[in-house]
Amino acid sequence: MRKTFTVILILLSFAADAQQPTRAELEQRRVQLLQTIKETESQLAATQKNTKATMGQLRALQTKLAGRQKLIDNINQEIDQIGSSIQHSNTEIDRLKGNLDILKARYAQSVRYAYKSRSSYDMLAFLFSSDDYNEAVRRLKYLKRYRDYRKDQADQIRLTQTKLKDEISSLNSEKAKKDILLSAEEQQKQAIESDKNKTDQIVKELKGQEKELTAKILKNRRTQQQIDKAVEDMIRKEMELARKKAEEERKRREAEERRLREEEQRRQQAIAAAKEEERKKALAAANNKPGGNITVENNAGNVPPPASKPPATTTPPVVKREEPKPLPPERDYGLTPEATALSNNFEANKGKLPWPVEKGFISLGFGPYKHPIAEKVTLNNNGVNISTSRGAAVRACFEGTVARVFTIDGKQWNVAINHGRYFTLYTNLANVTVKADQKVNTKQNIGTAAINEDGESVINLQVWLETKKVDPAQWIVR
């Protein structure tokens, strides 16, 4: 029982180690977090040109605070790993020092022995005192091995000293990295305190604009409902078109199969008719030969000659009609093979889709959330808000066909792209460069980001699985 428990603990420890990010992954994550914070500060600087506090400033500050906290957590993980590395280095240094002391002691002992037997006369006496030639050769080999042993001892001492020097240098380097990270952590903590004070100040100012914010909330909610209805209507239309296309494809396949069956049946009938004609010709030729007609003489009973056996008729084989194949059961509605392949490719790229903008950060996630000012109000984000630079180009996340280009308020544009069963929606565009039914490629520009009422350059990316909204953050590369 104890052995089994030990094995389970070992397996659990291996599993925990497997889940731990590597030093390289942590360093890469730290760089990405710093880049996100930098982009957030750039966005915040753009919105702060407006002296009036806005929700854009608040969201940017909240995003920056969250990014700094993640950065501190990442730094702490790096410090923990560096601490483990320092501990390992100290253990290795102690081991190398112990080995070096042992090697030096053994080498000193061999040197003392060599000093005592340094006389050439003693060496010769040792050789010539052998009983025979073979023993002399063995003694000579022994002396050579002893000399080589001393040389190896010296080499091992030098190698151990080099390893010890390298390990000490690595230890010092790790300590320096740890000091840098500790300093960076302290800077982030101070920055968090400063950002918290700014956030509290903006929240205080925004609370004085609660009526105005409530009006904006209602307006945005109505706009979102209109967009939802437009997208759902569009998707239903696309689904109906997909059904019709699949039905037309099915009928075309059935007609093609029916034509092939009829052609095969006609071919078999022609072959059978040709064989019957050949048989009749052969029978006629046989009757025209001399003695070909058989007569019966002296037929006292006046019995007619036996009738000849009627020729066998060849009937064409019956071709069994194949029933049309049903549509795949895993699809809620029919898709053409091209649409199915596109849908499968989109599905296979989950977590790998490129961002709709070249630079930016997620300022608001998917799903329901509490309004930071009107705390009793619960809102819902159908996608993710991505803050980006002013006038940034908006790109298609995946190849497909533009299903619809529309606007709700006459100012901001929305583009929906069909990817089979999946649809991507890009809202809050200042202008568009594509039109409905146009084929687009991955990363192809479809428009530019607009500036909202708070002075933010933000687009909203949505991913729909038929009429169901899913979290885009799980689809774009992170």
**pLDDT in the model for residue 299:** 45
- 160, 186, 208 - which closes a domain: 208
Q: Are residues 123 and 230 in the same domain?
A: no
The residue from 208, 230, 257 where one domain ends is: 208
Share of the chain above pLDDT 70, in %: 78
Which range among 108-112, 144-148, 266-270, 335-339 has the greatest average pLDDT?
Answer: 266-270
Secondary structure (DSSP) of 316-329: PPPPPPPPPPPPPT
Q: Is residue 318 part of a domain?
A: no
Q: Tell me, yes or no, whether 78 and 216 share the same domain.
A: no
Q: Give the span between the Cα atoms of 85 and 102, in whole angstroms.
A: 26
**Tokens coding 84:** 């483990």
135 and 227 inside one domain: no
**CB contact at 8 A, 350 and 474:** yes
State the pLDDT confidence band at 159, using cuts at 50, 70 and 90.
confident
Predicted local distance difference test score (pLDDT) of residue 46? 62
Give the single-character DSSP code of 382: S
217 and 154 in one domain? no
- Residue 447's contacts (CB-CB under 8 Å, 6 or more residues apart) are 393, 394, 413, 415, 426, 429, 430, 431, 432, 433, 434
Q: How confident is the model at residue 43 (pLDDT cuts 50, 70, 90)?
A: low
Q: Is the pLDDT of residue 326 over 60?
A: no
221-224's contacts with Cβ under 8 Å and 24+ in sequence apart are 221/379, 223/408, 223/409, 224/382
pLDDT of residue 98: 85
Does residue 127 contact residue 140 with C-beta atoms inside 8 Å?
Answer: yes
Q: Is residue 364 situated within a structural domain?
A: yes
CATH number for the domain that contains residue 373: 2.70.70.10
- Confirm whether 435 is domain-assigned: yes
pLDDT over threshold 70, residue 301: no
Greatest mean pLDDT range, 117-126, 258-267, 280-289, 298-307: 258-267
- Residues 227, 367, single domain; the answer is yes
**Structural domain tally of the chain?**
2
Verify that 216 and 204 share a domain, yes or no: no
Task: Kindly report the length of the chain.
Answer: 478
Same domain, 46 and 128: yes
Name the strand (E) or helix (H) holding 302. Answer: none
Task: Report the CATH number that the domain containing residue 56 is assigned in CATH.
Answer: 1.10.287
Q: Bigger pLDDT: 466 or 46? A: 466
Question: Residue 332: pLDDT above 70?
Answer: no
Would 147 be classed as within a structural domain? yes
Quick one: which of 153, 170, 168, 164 has its CA closest to 96?
164
Is residue 368 located within the same domain as residue 443?
yes
What was the pLDDT predicted at 116? 61
CB of 236 closer than 8 Å to CB of 467: yes
Answer yes or no: do 170 and 228 share one domain: no
Per residue in 57-70, pLDDT (tens digit) is 777 777 878 888 88
Is position 295 within any domain?
Answer: no
Q: Could you tell me which residues come within 8 angstroms of residue 5 by beta carbon, excluding any fewer than 6 positions away?
A: none
CA atoms within 13 A on the CB side of 414: 24
Give domain status of residue 437, yes or no.
yes
Q: Are residues 190 and 43 in the same domain?
A: yes
Asked if 361 and 390 count as a contact pair (C-beta separation under 8 A), the reply is no
Residue 433's H or E segment, with its range, is none
Q: Tell me: pLDDT of 255 over 60.
A: yes
- Asked, for residue 267, whether it belongs to a domain, the answer is no
Q: Is the pLDDT of residue 468 over 60?
A: yes
**Predicted pLDDT of residue 246:** 74
The answer to the question of residue 23 being in a domain is no
Q: Which one, of 406, 407, 425, 408, lies nearest residue 416 by Cα?
A: 425
Task: Report which of residues 470 and 326 the model is more confident about.
Answer: 470
Last residue of a domain, one of 186, 208, 230: 208
Q: State the pLDDT confidence band at 188, using cuts at 50, 70 and 90.
A: confident
Q: Which residue segment(s) compose the domain that 154 sits in?
A: 29-208
146, 50: one domain? yes
Q: Which of 169, 216, 248 is nearest to 56 (CA)?
A: 216
415 and 388 part of one domain: yes
